[in-house]
Amino acid sequence: APPGRPSYKIASIPADGIGPEVVSAGIQVLTTLAQALDEFDLNFEHFDWGSAYYREHGRYLPDDALERLKGCNAILFGAVGAPDIPDHISLWGLRLAICQPLQQYANVRPTRILRGISSPLSNCSRKDLDWVIVRENSEGEYAGHGGTSHLNEAWSVATEVSIFTRHGVERIMRFAFEMARSRPRKKLTIVTKSNAQRNGMVFWDLCAVKIAAEYPDVHWDKMLVDAMTTRMVLHPETIDTVVATNLHADILSDLAAALAGSIGIAPTSNLDPTGANPSMFEPIHGSAFDITGKGIANPVGTFWSSAEMLAWLGHREAANLLMESVENVTETGIKTLDLGGNNKTVEVTERVCQEIERLV
């Protein structure tokens, strides 16, 4: 490569179910884009970690996994989960075992209605729904803290303790205010449940108010999570950037994806905003074993995640070009079954590649 030309090492972890189908589609599109633009190089390093690896080795990751990932600039992830392995084993064994040590504390989920795709909401057009949900990704309800005792029929008890630290809450609030500030409407909704959860959620609100003082130019409001679900459905146009806890944002972002057309199109970025560690990009959907191997998985969520990855690496124009290509294709009616179309994964992928080559 000529001096000064950026070159990136991208870890690919397709893992389970439709993960390999959508990740290979994503790599094909990224490779086409990099060749067409001829401005940077992408080199993929493939890792076979997933449930098959777990069945063979009794664990999801080898000892040197984090070291190897730290040698990469970003991670493209598929999905984890298999019918014969409890979901909490696979999730903690692979996805969280990467996110947590790599300090990917900000989970970012943009949602908008792509051209050619319609919302199930009759009151919602493309201009009404343009959101970014920021999810706290390191603690809260998913801290893994708790226990069980007396696991017998007569009397059993289990606890799941939410953890909120000043460090954890303030950094996600700051991240969310920065995100809101970077968008035209400069508007942030802070989701809470401080009427019922009188410790952690009240603390969450206090941290929010403190950080809000650093951002006088951002308009913010506070909303209980239950009320937020109705607002998303009834008044989508009043929402812009949203910040919520690990659990609340997990649920809200699935709702958001469905409102924007399908769970198959939505992307997720797991970011270490300090840049000390590589960030990880993945579609929000899971392994979807009901459609695995049929060639009908929607690759758009992985394309959009790939665009987010390029933007994070500093190539915002390349990211926009990728999304422009995707939307030019969805607009012509080339879509997979989940979007009411009848095109296969490979057909959508080929068309997006052709569109990239046409636009560049």
Residues of this chain that bind ligand ATP (CB under 6 A): 18, 79, 81, 87, 263-264, 285-291, 297-298, 301, 336, 338
Residues with Cβ within 8 Å of 49's Cβ and at least 6 positions away in sequence, in order, are 13, 15, 60, 61, 62, 65, 94
Q: Given the complex with ligand ATP, which of 18 and 329 has the nearer CB atom?
A: 18
Query: Least Å distance between CB 50 and Mg ion?
Result: 17
Query: Least Å distance between CB 69 and Mg ion?
Result: 25
Q: Which does 291 bind (CB under 5 to 8 A by kind): ligand ATP, Mg ion, none?
A: ligand ATP
Q: Given the complex with ligand ATP, which of 81 and 236 has the nearer CB atom?
A: 81
Query: Least Å distance between CB 297 and ligand ATP?
Result: 4
Q: Which does 108 bind (CB under 5 to 8 A by kind): ligand ATP, Mg ion, none?
A: none
Q: Which does 338 bind (CB under 5 to 8 A by kind): Mg ion, ligand ATP, none?
A: ligand ATP
- DSSP character string of 266-305: -EEEEE-TTSSS-EEEEESS---TTTTTTT----HHHHHH
Q: Given the complex with Mg ion, which of 142 and 204 has the nearer CB atom?
A: 142
Q: Which does 290 bind (CB under 5 to 8 A by kind): Mg ion, ligand ATP, none?
A: ligand ATP
Task: Give me 172's structure tokens.
Answer: 């996600």
d(CA 21, CA 251): 25
Q: Three-state DSSP class for 91?
A: helix
Query: Least Å distance between CB 150 and ligand ATP?
Result: 29
Q: Which does 78 bind (CB under 5 to 8 A by kind): Mg ion, ligand ATP, none?
A: none
User: Binding pattern to Mg ion, positions 315-334, x when CB under 5 A?
Assistant: --------------------
Query: Least Å distance between CB 290 and Mg ion?
Result: 11
Q: Are the CB atoms for 103 and 273 separated by under 8 Å?
A: no
Plot region of 221 (φ>0 → left; ψ -120 to 50 → alpha; else → beta): beta
| Bridge partner residues of 163 (DSSP) | 140
| Bridge partner residues of 146 (DSSP) | 160
The count of C-alpha atoms lying within 13 angstroms of the C-alpha of 356, restricted to the half-sphere facing its C-beta, is: 27
Query: Least Å distance between CB 66 and ligand ATP?
Result: 22
Does 286 bind Mg ion (CB under 5 A)? Our answer is: yes
Query: Least Å distance between CB 233 and ligand ATP?
Result: 19
The residue number with the shortest CB distance to Mg ion is: 286
Q: Given the complex with Mg ion, which of 254 and 327 has the nearer CB atom?
A: 254
Q: Given the complex with ligand ATP, which of 179 and 348 has the nearer CB atom?
A: 348
Q: Given the complex with ligand ATP, which of 140 and 286 has the nearer CB atom?
A: 286
Residue whose entry in the numeric block shows the structure tokens 């579609």:
283
d(CA 163, CA 316): 35
Q: Given the complex with ligand ATP, which of 113 and 190 has the nearer CB atom?
A: 113
Query: Least Å distance between CB 125 and ligand ATP?
Result: 24
Element (H, E) at 22: helix 19-37
The residue number with the shortest CB distance to ligand ATP is: 286
| Bridge partner residues of 147 (DSSP) | 159
Q: Three-state DSSP class for 24?
A: helix
**DSSP class of 197:** -
Q: Given the complex with ligand ATP, which of 33 and 291 has the nearer CB atom?
A: 291
Counted residue by residue, the chain has a size of 360
Single-letter amino acid, residue 201: M
Does 267 bind Mg ion (CB under 5 A)? Our answer is: no
d(CA 235, CA 356): 35
Q: Which residues bind Mg ion (CB under 5 A)?
A: 286
